[in-house]
Amino acid sequence: MAKAIWSSVSGLGNHQTWMDVLGNNIANVNTTGYKHGRFEFEDILSQSIRGAAPPVQGGLGGVNPEQVGLGTATGSVETITLQGSLQPTNVPTDLAITGNGYFVTSDGTNTHFTRDGVFHVDASGNIVSASNGLHLQGVLANAAGVLQPQNGLQNLTIPQTVNAALNTSDIAVFGNLDSRATAAVTQQIQVFDSLGQQHTVVLTFTPQAVTGNTKSWNVSVTSPDLNGGPTLTPTTGATLTFDANGQLTGGVTSIAFNTGANAWLIPGSTTVSNAAQNQAVTINLADAQVGALTSFAAPTSTSTQGRPANPAGVGNSAGFLKSFSISQDGIIRGVYSNGTTKTLGQIELATFANPGGLTRIGQNDFDISANSGQANITNPGSGSAGSVVQGSLETSNVDLANELAQVILAQRGFSANSRMVTTSDEMLQDVVAMKR
């Protein structure tokens, strides 16, 4: 009977522990990114009253061992890392992970891991956890928008610096020059200097007499914003030739100009700017992806656009950061007032061989343990890592109905064990009463 009491006492204690786990799960039913715990019982070593005996050929059969259990113990409290549901918030700094992985955060000395994606941008432009100020870690880009993974994990920031101006270096001209034309036609191109000032450059196509089956056009390039307004001579020639099928052949397929010793003026004035034309502007007349300039017996219609092979060649003015976006691969892109976008950085995720082995440290954060395995830092969507979803949060994976059902089972188990203690006590009292 004493054994029964102590067995029941162990049952009371472990059912109380189970209730503690369930209570914590229910308390965190609305905690962002929370992973619920699962309690498991195990029995304690049993006392053997009689050992097992094997069957004897031609004699008695085998006998099973006789054992009396000594109660129960906590087998494990596992962290169940199943995916929680995603809740849209439309807040640009709210992030969720679909699939495996944890956000990497740092206090400057120690690294932690979390599924809680409630972040904000602080006064210094850092992306930090809203609950504790830990810095979100990732790869930063340089001033040109190129990611620098060789620098390792760094604090991700949203820099408020002005996106630098870029002078025009490459642009495509396409369309048709009327083969019947006798007068010059013009095409205006907008280009940027090194300070982001926009200038008008005029291409003038002047038709020449037909020679055999060849139609030729002379090309000149001018700009009213060049000091003194001189004509800019194409550096690779000034003649375009078209065959009897209207195709550009035999002549130049691109022209280039630079300012040389002529300074750019501030547009609309006679004041010299300190802008520079850092390289010649190449004007492509036969880009395979855009289309070649032709000369058919059809009205003249020419256009310009950036070349797909070099989209940055059109240049841009300086711009201020207006907003930013985060794609599924974790890349943070800034959107600027001049219409350009630039890569600012990339969020990295950590995956583990045994994520259930991570140690909870509070505030929705985890640390590496001896049985979690080391953190594998990788790009979102790469390998086993999941993807990042902007404007959403991962909810707790607690199943409230299941937890409440287990609360009933835990309460019934606790009551039964307490009843066993009182019953065993009554039996002991009966034994003591036999002496009277």
pLDDT value of residue 260? 65
| Cα distance between residue 160 and residue 126, in whole Å | 11
| Cα distance between residue 68 and residue 4, in whole Å | 10
Which residues, 6 or more positions from 320, have their beta carbon under 8 angstroms from its beta carbon? 162, 163, 336, 337
Count Cβ atoms within 10 A of the Cβ of residue 296 and give its class: 0-12 exposed, 13-18 middle, 19 or more buried: middle
Q: Please give the domain boundaries of the chain with CATH numbers for all domains.
A: 2-47+67-73+402-433 (no CATH), 86-159+327-394 (no CATH), 170-314 (2.60.98.20)
pLDDT value of residue 62? 86
| Cα distance between residue 21 and residue 366, in whole Å | 18
Contact 175, 305 (CB under 8 A): no
Which residues, 6 or more positions from 326, have their beta carbon under 8 angstroms from its beta carbon? 92, 95, 332, 333, 347, 388, 390
| Cα distance between residue 392 and residue 32, in whole Å | 11
43 forms beta bridges with: 72
Chunked into runs of 10 residues, the chain (436 residues) has average pLDDT values of 76 91 96 95 82 86 84 90 95 96 96 96 95 96 92 94 87 93 92 91 90 88 80 67 88 67 83 82 85 92 90 90 95 92 95 95 95 96 95 96 95 89 78 74
pLDDT value of residue 28? 95
φ, ψ of residue 13 in degrees (nearest 5): -65, -40
